[in-house]
């Protein structure tokens, strides 16, 4: 962290009577740009929630309490500094100091706090305060991949239990409870409140997620790209996380699989689940949130409705009828706030007495049904669409598209105000539904079909928009699973195959190989059951490609042989030529170039016979590389020119950029460096436009080789570093090793320049 600068933030708690003094102090502190002073009149914009804004201010690095007769007797100020005092006591990381502005009696709890006297010499006191603030060793907040902090009441006992137990490295703490008990909210509040206790905090939604999806999500959040099969990736994840003081939160665990990523070591794991008897949690004592107390129910109503009669008989009756279940209380408050047709009295009359229900659960179901039925048409359409999107969260824009709404913000506002939808990230407009609300909203088949169709359409151009598509990857997986589960219906099997193909290609490109393998493995199992051998051979080919990435060449070749046998039996010459091409790549890795060339020539013959010019240009490219290795440069260049003509004719820009890269290698071998570099620059432009990260890195690599030949060491180092960053992002270890070796070569060739760069 050396060299990084963190702006200090200061919260100024004061009475409105002392506003002129506080403005002067804020202006002085902010001079120089090293401190940001939180002042309500500057920080709270028109229409913003005052309570929420002040809660954000209270998260500042330093809290200054301005003491005067008015502030000491102010209930609002007293609540602010009391909250800060106990937060400091609990967390040990909050800095609290007092500034005596006017003579007054200092509260007992504050007498031992840092103290500044500004009564006699205001400028000098201001300088002392600023020096003290800047001298603090402010600890930057740990990186946290968390949903937005929710409204939270009560649960202080459970939070203290979590803090005590999770402060021990290597601990696993389950939060157990039935639906609607607030397990996720408790875990989220703990993560936000105590994130400074950990090096980083990672939130992973496990609801309806496979182990491969969980591992892929965690890998992406860690910024890692791990290759190997799923067992290897999980092992490396555990090793990496276990060496650090991380907090890993596994939310909504439904089965044993997520337990495999619990790292141990220095990391701690917090798990929320409604399944008490999971084997991997057998020896870990759980924490079980209790139902809300009556006082906590009133706190929720106070937040939603303002002043609430805490002696109100009907409110108490309603709480009892809802079984004091947190989700029920929140939705009831939202329903009353958002719809003039509902009052505490009317809701209490609608619900049967608790004595006829089991823990109020049925009443909560009735309440959710009532809340959804009370929605206007647009919010009802939106929540139906949300119910078929990814359980762990989705873009508002996607849900709006599925709901067929041109404008969804007003509908969203109604859902959020009624506590029916929860915000994960306002900046990226990502939202989620509570499982009970998702269940009540239902997954209508027509809406699910629109979602799957939208994802199929969304991923048609995944290569161009791969970053945006990767953000929607969970929704692609959701759509694929739905289409696969309903494959017996007309058109659904084909839709599942389309989604699988797109998901496989993106996962393959981004180095999310376990997830790519899982896509094709699920389809392969169905194809085996149904006897769809044509789909099965394609799955074998995809699996073999991934196994080759993992260096398991023997297994990959065995699958290609099975693919070849099926294709020959079915007379599927298109699948056969693809199989020949992929087998040739393995033979090249084994150094068996003659056999590789023979297979590529067989592929060429089939492609010409079928008129498959796109596959033909791939065959030409691979043949040219073998010819170059043999020193037959003229023949290699002739094939690449034929490839170039086909790609230009087909408008295949991705094939064209690869062709330019291979031509540049031949030109470089002939010493024609300027022409080679010109082609590489054309390749670079196309790769950037298409978002083709892999070939962009290869392009940088080739440019670096030319820069080395020209003794342009600084430029070579820059290019190799760019390539290395991409290869690391893609998890391509063999290329990473090659780039590392190339950097060492540059250092040897230009030691003076490398020392300068290091300095």
We report the CATH number of the domain holding residue 259 as 3.40.50.300
Instruction: Write out the two tokens for 493.
Output: 């099997």
What's residue 111's pLDDT? 59
Enclosing domain of residue 237: 144-281
Tell me: pLDDT of 730 over 80.
no
CATH number assigned to the domain comprising residue 87:
3.40.50.10140
Domain identity same for 275 and 155: yes
| 398 found inside a domain | yes
Give the angle 723-728-732 at the CA atoms, nearest 5°: 95
What size, in residues, is the chain?
759
| 630 found inside a domain | no
Q: Are 163 and 194 in contact (CB under 8 A)?
A: yes
Which of 43-57, 135-149, 208-222, 745-759 is least confident?
43-57
Instruction: Write out the two tokens for 636.
Output: 């290699």
The helix (run of H) or strand (run of E) holding residue 234 is helix 230-242
Q: Are 581 and 622 in contact (CB under 8 A)?
A: yes
Q: Are 22 and 14 in contact (CB under 8 A)?
A: yes
Tell me: pLDDT of 3 over 70.
no
Q: Are 482 and 388 in contact (CB under 8 A)?
A: yes
Give the mean model confidence (pLDDT) for residues 572-592. Answer: 95
Give the mean model confidence (pLDDT) for residues 376-397. Answer: 93
**Separation between Cα atoms, residue 472 and residue 458, nearest integer Å:** 9
Domain identity same for 180 and 231: yes
Instruction: Write out the two tokens for 732.
Output: 């391509």
Tell me: pLDDT of 757 over 50.
no
**Separation between Cα atoms, residue 438 and residue 450, nearest integer Å:** 17
Domain identity same for 15 and 72: yes
First to last CA, the chain: 17
What's residue 440's pLDDT? 87
**Separation between Cα atoms, residue 607 and residue 228, nearest integer Å:** 33
Give the angle 616-622-624 at the CA atoms, nearest 5°: 100
| 552 found inside a domain | no
What's residue 141's pLDDT? 57
Mind listing the pLDDT tens digit for each residue in 425-480? 888 899 999 888 888 888 889 999 999 999 999 999 887 788 788 889 999 999 99
* CA-to-CA separations, 659 to 605, 664, 667, 702, in angstroms, rounded: 20, 9, 12, 13
Q: Quick one: what percent of the chain has pLDDT higher than 70?
A: 88
Give the single-character DSSP code of 113: S
Q: Are 616 and 601 in contact (CB under 8 A)?
A: no
Domain identity same for 262 and 316: no
Q: Which residues lie across from 176 on neighbouring strands?
A: 273
Give CB contacts under 8 A, 24+ apart, made by 605-610: 606/573, 606/574, 606/576, 606/577, 606/580, 607/577, 609/573, 610/573, 610/574, 610/577
Listed residues 409, 443, 477: the one ending a domain: 443
Domain identity same for 246 and 307: no
| 214 found inside a domain | yes
Q: Are 472 and 461 in contact (CB under 8 A)?
A: no
**Separation between Cα atoms, residue 175 and residue 157, nearest integer Å:** 13
Domain identity same for 364 and 381: no
Instruction: Write out the two tokens for 157.
Output: 């006992």
Query: Other C-beta atoms within 10 Å of 18: how many?
Result: 22
Give the angle 491-493-499 at the CA atoms, nearest 5°: 105
Provide the pLDDT confidence category of residue 731 given band limits of 50, 70 and 90.
low
Give the angle 216-218-219 at the CA atoms, nearest 5°: 60
Mind listing the pLDDT tens digit for each residue in 86-100? 454 444 455 778 888
Domain identity same for 159 and 175: yes
Give the angle 74-79-80 at the CA atoms, nearest 5°: 100
Domain identity same for 262 and 313: no
Q: Are 400 and 379 in contact (CB under 8 A)?
A: no
Place of tokens 């599942």: 496
**Separation between Cα atoms, residue 627 and residue 406, nearest integer Å:** 56
Domain identity same for 318 and 399: no
Listed residues 84, 104, 135: the one ending a domain: 135
What's residue 403's pLDDT? 95
**Separation between Cα atoms, residue 229 and residue 232, nearest integer Å:** 5
Query: Other C-beta atoms within 10 Å of 385: how many?
Result: 27
Average pLDDT, the chain: 85
393: Cα separation from own chain's centroid = 10
| 598 found inside a domain | no
Strands (E), 257-398: 268-273, 394-395
pLDDT: which is higher, 392 or 2:
392
Domain identity same for 274 and 150: yes
Provide the pLDDT confidence category of residue 55 given band limits of 50, 70 and 90.
low
Q: Which residues lie across from 97 on neighbouring strands?
A: 64, 114
Give the single-character DSSP code of 287: B
Helix axes 492-509, 445-458, angle to 10 degrees: 40
Tell me: pLDDT of 22 over 50.
yes
Closest to 503 (Cα-Cα) out of 515, 514, 511, 493: 515
Structurally, the chain folds into a number of domains equal to 5
What's residue 759's pLDDT? 23
Instruction: Write out the two tokens for 412.
Output: 């969203």
| 415 found inside a domain | yes
Provide the pLDDT confidence category of residue 753 given band limits of 50, 70 and 90.
very low
Mind listing the pLDDT tens digit for each residue in 283-333? 899 999 888 888 889 988 888 888 777 778 888 888 888 888 888 889 998
* Half-sphere exposure in the Cβ direction for 367 (13 Å, CA): 36
Q: Are 541 and 559 in contact (CB under 8 A)?
A: yes
Domain identity same for 79 and 65: yes
What's residue 577's pLDDT? 96
Domain identity same for 398 and 307: no
Backbone angles phi, psi at 251, to 5 degrees: -95, 135
What's residue 232's pLDDT? 87
Give the angle 123-125-128 at the CA atoms, nearest 5°: 115
| 654 found inside a domain | no
Listed residues 82, 113, 135: the one ending a domain: 135
Give the angle 474-452-437 at the CA atoms, nearest 5°: 65
Query: Other C-beta atoms within 10 Å of 717: how many?
Result: 21
* CA-to-CA separations, 698 to 388, 586, 591, 637, 708, in angstroms, rounded: 40, 20, 21, 19, 15
What's residue 629's pLDDT? 93
| 676 found inside a domain | no
């Amino acid at each position: 962290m050396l060299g990084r600068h963190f702006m200090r933030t200061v919260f100024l708690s004061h009475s409105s009577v002392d506003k002129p003094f506080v403005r002067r102090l804020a202006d002085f502190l902010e001079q120089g740009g090293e401190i940001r002073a939180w002042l309500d009149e500057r920080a709270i914009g028109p229409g913003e929630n005052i309570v929420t804004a002040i809660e954000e201010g209270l998260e500042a690095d330093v809290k200054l309490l301005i003491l005067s007769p008015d502030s000491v007797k102010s209930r609002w100020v007293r609540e602010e500094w009391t909250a800060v005092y106990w937060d400091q006591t609990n967390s040990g990381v909050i800095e609290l100091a007092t500034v005596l502005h006017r003579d007054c009696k200092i509260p007992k709890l504050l007498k031992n706090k840092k103290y500044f006297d500004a009564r006699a010499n205001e400028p000098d006191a201001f300088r002392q305060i600023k020096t003290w603030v800047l001298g603090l060793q402010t600890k930057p907040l740990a990186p946290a991949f968390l949903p937005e902090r929710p409204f939270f009441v009560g649960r202080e006992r459970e939070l203290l239990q979590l803090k005590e137990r999770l402060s021990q490295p290597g601990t696993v703490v389950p939060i157990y409870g039935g639906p609607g008990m607030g397990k996720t909210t408790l875990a989220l509040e703990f993560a936000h409140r105590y994130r400074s206790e950990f090096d980083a905090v990672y939130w992973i939604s496990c609801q309806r997620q496979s182990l491969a999806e969980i591992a892929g999500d965690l890998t992406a959040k860690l910024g890692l790209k791990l290759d190997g099969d799923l067992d290897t990736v999980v092992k490396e994840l555990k090793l990496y996380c276990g060496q650090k003081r991380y907090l890993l939160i596994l939310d909504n665990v439904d089965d044993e699989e997520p337990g495999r990523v619990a790292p141990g070591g220095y990391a701690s794991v917090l798990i929320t689940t409604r399944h008490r008897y999971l084997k991997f949690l057998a020896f870990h004592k759980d924490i079980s949130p209790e139902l809300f107390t009556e006082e906590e129910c009133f706190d929720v109503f106070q937040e939603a409705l303002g002043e609430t009669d805490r002696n109100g008989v009907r409110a108490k009756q309603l709480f009892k009828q809802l079984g004091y279940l947190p989700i029920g209380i929140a939705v009831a408050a939202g329903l009353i706030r958002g719809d003039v047709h509902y009052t505490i009295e009317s809701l209490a009359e609608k619900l049967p007495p608790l004595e006829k229900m089991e823990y109020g659960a049925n009443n909560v179901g009735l309440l959710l049904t009532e809340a959804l039925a009370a929605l206007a048409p647009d919010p009802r359409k939106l929540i139906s669409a949300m119910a078929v999107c990814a359980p762990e969260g989705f873009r508002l824009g996607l849900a709006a598209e599925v709901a067929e709404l041109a404008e969804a913000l007003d509908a969203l506002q109604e859902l959020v105000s009624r506590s029916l939808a929860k915000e994960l990230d306002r900046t990226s407009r990502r939202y989620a539904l509570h499982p009970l609300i998702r269940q009540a909203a239902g997954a209508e088949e027509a809406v699910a079909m629109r979602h799957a169709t939208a994802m199929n359409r969304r991923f048609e151009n995944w290569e161009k928009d791969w970053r945006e598509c990767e953000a929607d990857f969970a929704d692609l997986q959701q759509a694929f699973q739905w289409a696969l589960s309903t494959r017996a219906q007309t058109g659904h099997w084909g839709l599942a195959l389309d989604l699988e193909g797109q998901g496989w290609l993106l996962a393959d490109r981004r180095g999310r190989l376990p997830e790519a393998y899982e896509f094709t493995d699920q389809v392969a199992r169905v194809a085996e059951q149904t006897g769809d051998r044509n789909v099965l051979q394609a799955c074998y080919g995809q699996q073999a490609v991934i196994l080759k990435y993992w260096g398991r060449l023997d297994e990959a070749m065995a699958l290609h042989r099975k693919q070849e046998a099926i294709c020959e039996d079915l007379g599927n010459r298109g699948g056969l030529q693809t199989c020949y091409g992929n087998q040739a790549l393995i033979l090249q890795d084994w150094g068996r170039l003659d056999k590789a060339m023979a297979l590529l020539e067989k592929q060429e013959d089939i492609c010409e016979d079928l008129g498959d010019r796109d596959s033909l240009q791939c065959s030409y490219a691979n043949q040219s590389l073998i010819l170059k290795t043999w020193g037959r440069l003229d023949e290699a260049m002739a094939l690449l020119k034929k490839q170039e003509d086909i790609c230009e004719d087909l408008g295949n820009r991705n094939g064209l950029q690869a062709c330019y890269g291979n031509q540049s290698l031949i030109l470089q071998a002939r010493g024609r460096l300027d022409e080679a570099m010109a082609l590489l620059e054309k390749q670079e432009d196309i790769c950037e436009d298409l978002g083709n990260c892999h070939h962009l890195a290869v392009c940088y690599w080739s440019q670096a080789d030319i820069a080395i030949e020209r003794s342009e060491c600084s430029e070579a180092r820059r290019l190799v570093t760019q390539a290395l960053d991409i290869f690391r992002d893609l998890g391509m270890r063999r290329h990473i090793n090659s780039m590392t070796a190339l950097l060492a070569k540059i250092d040897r060739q230009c030691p003076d320049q490398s020392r300068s760069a290091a300095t």
